[in-house]
Amino acid sequence: MPGTQGQHKHTNRLINETSPYLLQHAHNPVDWYPWGEEALEKARRENKPILLSVGYSACHWCHVMERESFENEEIAVLMNQHFVSIKVDREERPDIDNIYMQAVQALTHSGGWPMTVFLTPDGRPFYGGTYFPPRDRRYGGQVMPGFGRVLISMAEAYEHRREDVEEQATQIADFLNQRGPGTRKGQPHDKSGVYNMPTGMVPLELFGNASRELASEFDPVHGGFGNAPKFPNTMSLEFLLRIHQHRLKGEIGTKATRPELEIVEVSLQHMANGGIYDQLGGGFHRYSVDAEWLVPHFEKMLYDNALLSRIYLHTYLVTGKVFYRRIAEETLDYVVREMTSPEGGFYSTQDADSEGEEGKFFVWTPAEIEAVLPHEDVEIFMRHYGVTQHGNFEGKNILHVAQDMSIGAEVERDGEGYLPPRQGALAVAREETLGRARDLLFKAREQRIKPGRDEKILTSWNGLMLRSFAEAARYLGRADYLQVAINSSNSTRTPDSEPLSLSTSNAPQTSSSIQISVADPTTIRPRQRPPLSFSARCQSNFNSGRWEVWHVEGLRRAVEVWQESTGSILPNKTKSGKWNGIKSGKQVSFGNHFVQLTAWYGRQSDRDWVVASTDSNLIVIR
């Protein structure tokens, strides 16, 4: 599709999309299609395999693969000649991402983005992976095949070994079908083969079993679960914090392998003191490439910061330690400053790269720090944040609280504001010095070129973020956070506007809208607020009467859409693994809100849905 757009040599169909990620690929020489009937029909008509590429705007390796391969004219010729190439933004289509990520995990025992999957014309995967270099590249003792060689191999396999391709595709499709709902071995089914949902409440003792399972994966040295790469796994920590509360009430009799609160605190402290946390500007990067939480992938995701600010808030409420409150507030302040639109909605992501370099905005050399701070503050700051001449990331320094410092060493005052004897004047002076230094370096950093930002507004993620602000406003007495929540809610819809309709996002570039994704009916287009935001507003005790009606209507409308689309009330269950990091709108909204509706209105139909959602792997704790 030759380009006619200004100075660009190529322009493809993605130029008509609203997703910032898809628009980034609109001038590739690849003949990209968005996911839709046009591309799928072309593949069927021409009997061509589909090359599906899935990523998102803030993904560093997505940008790398674009520069190396999708802007490469020779590779583009191969793609255009042998495949129907489809580009998908995983944030707009989490349903497509979840399905094909399961296939990639089954094939490679790993996953990530960019995700590259080869499909038969009817959409069944037969080969996949993540990032591929443009040419064969050696990593340690292994050689990663170049993307050009992969393309040729897949094209030849489809052309000359079709039976093998069909067999592989059938096996993968059968595997994915077996992982869906209604196919559980050893469980009661009716005559039609549909799984019969048990009735009654789930005993809390079963959650104690889940706690022991998580404890077996806990890293007692660095916190978190498992080895590198490490994701925050916020929902697991939230679950453990709730189990801790149940134990305090004497509601769980079984003994914990390791105290749940210990797991939560060790994990939260190490994350907040590591490089995964922005020590100057607040907010968390997406994940750490190492087990120590030191070197992150530098993109920042709205949903991560929504969930993490909430778990730090909840841990503060449980422990009373101001360390957790500080991290929660700094994270929320980051969202206000960097991720909030003038209308009040929340943007999706902030890129890892600036000026073409990963992490450039966030890292420092000793000379850069010395040029900003007063001489007497330099040594204190650099020692506290582990700054050295050789650095810890490509010759520069990711700021982190050095491991010889006490974890979470905040100046903890008693209830009347007095310092314990062990603290004293030196601790207060050190805290003031570090705070002053952070402020100066933050102001200097603001002069740098900032990472790009995906200003797409996803309503499910906005619901998560609004809830965090509403809870912080309520429990911390922060009127400014309450106003952020009000602005966000008002930016999407007023209670007097038209009836609810459903969609996934609102991108600012064009007037086009995205149709609803059946996998996630609670992602409601901005201008039609998600049920989660109504609940948060009710719980924050402001104008709650007029929002309760919309809360109930919004949730029930989401369920109606789901039932109309699938004939089932249960969301499609995908076991995408804890590394994925996304708590989707359906999981948050359906599970939590039917619990609330049951508590508020006592309807049996709502109670039945709580039981069903619990069995569907949505953690529900009374």
Helices 479-492 and 322-338 pack at an angle, to 10 degrees, of 40
Question: What DSSP character marks residue 428?
Answer: H
137 lies in the same domain as 223: no
Cβ neighbours of 227 (radius 10 Å)? 11
Q: Are residues 257 and 385 in the same domain?
A: no
Residues 486 and 542 reside in one and the same domain? yes
User: Is there a single domain that holds both residue 562 and residue 512?
Assistant: yes
Last residue of a domain, one of 412, 447, 482: 447
Q: What is the pLDDT of residue 404?
A: 53
443, part of any domain: yes
- Same domain for 94 and 158, yes or no, is yes
| Element spanning 358, H or E | strand 357-358
In terms of domains, do 335 and 467 share one? Answer: yes
199 in any annotated domain: no
Which domain range does residue 442 map to?
A: 362-447
Task: Please check whether residues 250 and 305 belong to one and the same domain.
Answer: yes
Q: Is 42 contained in some domain?
A: yes
d(CA 281, CA 513): 33
DSSP letter (8 states) at residue 447 = T
438 and 386 fall within a common domain: yes
Q: Point out the domain boundary residue: 447, 477, 506.
A: 447
What confidence score (pLDDT) does residue 605 get?
A: 57
Instruction: Write down the pLDDT at residue 331.
Output: 98
We report the CATH number of the domain holding residue 327 as 1.50.10.10
How far does CA 381 lie from the centroid of its chain? 32
For residue 294, being part of any structural domain is answered with: yes
Point out the domain boundary residue: 447, 462, 485: 447
d(CA 614, CA 152): 46
Instruction: Give residue 555's pLDDT.
Output: 58
Q: Which residues contact 469 (CB under 8 A, 6 or more apart)?
A: 332, 481, 482, 484, 485, 488, 536
216, 277 contact by CB (below 8 A): no
**176 and 126 in contact (C-beta within 8 Å)?**
no
- The reported pLDDT for the residue numbered 252 is 86
Question: What residue ranges of the chain have pLDDT lower than 70?
Answer: 1-6, 179-202, 403-424, 492-622
Question: Is 534 part of any domain?
Answer: yes
> Is position 620 within any domain?
no
Q: Is residue 83 included in any domain, yes or no? A: yes
| Residue 344 region by backbone torsions, left for phi larger than 0, else alpha for psi between -120 and 50, else beta | left
Number of domains in the chain: 3
Helix axes 204-217, 234-248, angle to 10 degrees: 130
Q: Contact at 8 Å (CB) between 491 and 546? A: no
Q: Where are the alpha helices (DSSP H) in 274-321?
A: 302-319
Same domain, 282 and 348: yes
On whether residue 7 sits in a domain, the answer given is no
Sheet holding 349-350, edge to edge: 300-301, 349-350, 453-454
Q: Give the bridge partners for 2, in sequence order.
A: 10
**Contact predicate 283/338, CB 8 Å:** yes
Reduced to 3 states (helix: H, G, I; strand: E, B; else coil), residue 252 is: coil
Query: In terms of domains, do 20 and 84 share one?
Result: yes
Examine the domain organization and report whether 150 and 266 are in the same domain.
Answer: no
For the chain, how far is it from start to end, CA to CA, in angstroms?
Answer: 56
Considering the domain architecture, whether residues 374 and 409 belong to the same structural domain is answered as yes
* pLDDT attached to residue 569: 34
Q: How far apart are CA 524 and CA 516, in angstroms?
A: 8
CATH code for the domain of 163: 3.40.30.10
420-434 pLDDT, tens digit per residue, is 555 567 778 888 999
Give the dihedral sign, CA 298/143/114/28.
positive
| Alpha carbon distance 605, 462 (integer Å) | 28
Instruction: Report pTM.
Output: 0.73
